[in-house]
Amino acid sequence: MLVFVSCRQDTKPDVSAIKLEIKISRFDKDVYNGKGKDLMQTNQTLQKTYGPFYDDYIHRMIGTPEYSNEEILKILYQDQAYTDLTHEVDSIFKELNTTEQQLTQAFKYIKYYYPQSKTPKFISFVSGFAVQTPIGDDYMGIGLDMFLGKNSKFYKAIVQSVPVYLSRRFAPEYITPRLTETYAREELFPERDADHSLLSKMIYNGKILYFMDQVLDDQVPDSVKIGYTAAQLEWCKHFEGNIWAYYLENNLLFETDYQKIQVFLSEGPFTPGLGERTESAPKLGLWIGWQIVRKYMQENKSVTLQQLMTEQDTQKILTASKYKPKQEK
């Protein structure tokens, strides 16, 4: 097993010479430590230390511009729910060494492929489930209250607004994959407005997931990358050919009506109309797009990651992939 894992890791480039060490700034601790102290002094300290992130946190994540920073801090410190949630976060995330190591490795690979990319500052925070991985002016935020573990008592209390099929992914092992995905989508490869068809959206999302394959540790499961349960992943693998046949038989690949195609792109507990007893996986367009891109890179070994990510001819990728999964009878 150790030899097998070692061999898998060797398929990635050597990035040991890249000088990068990510440290996560614990804003969640710093802001809570201001409780009971002079509000004006606390505000000035946080403003000086965290700059744009602090402004976004105060006026966009937990408050609004109508209130002053001190007023919002006062309300926050008086909220028992904030205190309880912060204590829970602190008990689970006493330190973030593992996440820092994972992010360091992932962003070394990103630097390897994209040397001009700018590594953001990483800042952890608690927002009362307002936002998970915000990205702003030179920073990426980590909403630790949205990574407490799927069995957290807090998620049971907010199930009306955050259903279980979403909160089951609010676990520590999802932090680095979600940050990597957000960075890829927002900073490196924003989706083009011209991509309207189901096929173009499938390939775009497939490229994002393939990019994650290249920069995340090989031991990160596919289920975590795409956000499936183990059973959903197995369902997709078993019925891959049937899903593809469904797209072809219903002429969906070049469909541009979002009402018709969003069911294959959106989050959900399953995909309506496919599978029995709601056992199907959601986001089947993303899954199939991922497999097409993987097959394309397998069939065209001279194509680099950078060339893949800039290729906008989705029909070319599909044709050159020779993608023809077998159907289950």
Query: What share of residues in the chain are helix, strand, coil (percent, to 5)?
Result: 55, 5, 40
Distance CA 57, CA 53 (A): 6
Are the beta carbons of 27 and 120 closer than 8 angstroms? Answer: no
Q: Tens-digit pLDDT profile for the chain (329 aa)? A: 444 343 444 579 999 999 999 999 999 999 999 999 999 999 999 999 999 999 999 999 999 989 999 999 999 999 999 999 999 999 999 999 999 999 999 999 999 999 999 999 999 999 999 999 999 989 999 999 999 999 999 999 999 999 999 999 999 999 999 999 999 999 999 999 888 999 999 999 999 999 999 999 999 999 999 999 999 999 999 999 999 999 999 999 999 999 999 999 999 999 988 877 788 999 999 999 999 999 999 999 999 999 999 999 999 999 999 999 998 76
Which of 149, 93, 118 lies closest to 22, judged by CA? 118
Residue 329 pLDDT: 64
Give the C-alpha distances (Å, rounded to integers) separating 255 from 84, 138, 191, 207: 48, 37, 18, 20
Considering the entire predicted model, what is its pTM? 0.94
Which of 313, 311, 302, 305 lies closest to 117, judged by CA? 305
Residue 41 pLDDT: 97
Residue 77 pLDDT: 97
Residue 194 pLDDT: 85
Are the beta carbons of 138 and 120 closer than 8 angstroms? Answer: yes
Contacts of 100 (CB under 8 A, 6+ apart): 21, 22, 23, 24
Contacts of 294 (CB under 8 A, 6+ apart): 206, 210, 213
Residue that is written with structure tokens 């946080």 in the block: 46
Give the C-alpha distances (Å, rounded to integers) separating 117 from 94, 99, 114, 184, 187: 30, 20, 6, 11, 9
Q: What are phi and psi of 43, to 5 degrees?
A: -60, -45
Helix (H) or strand (E) holding 143: strand 139-143
Residue 116 pLDDT: 96
- Strands of the sheet containing 24-26, edge to edge, are 24-26, 121-125, 139-143, 135-136
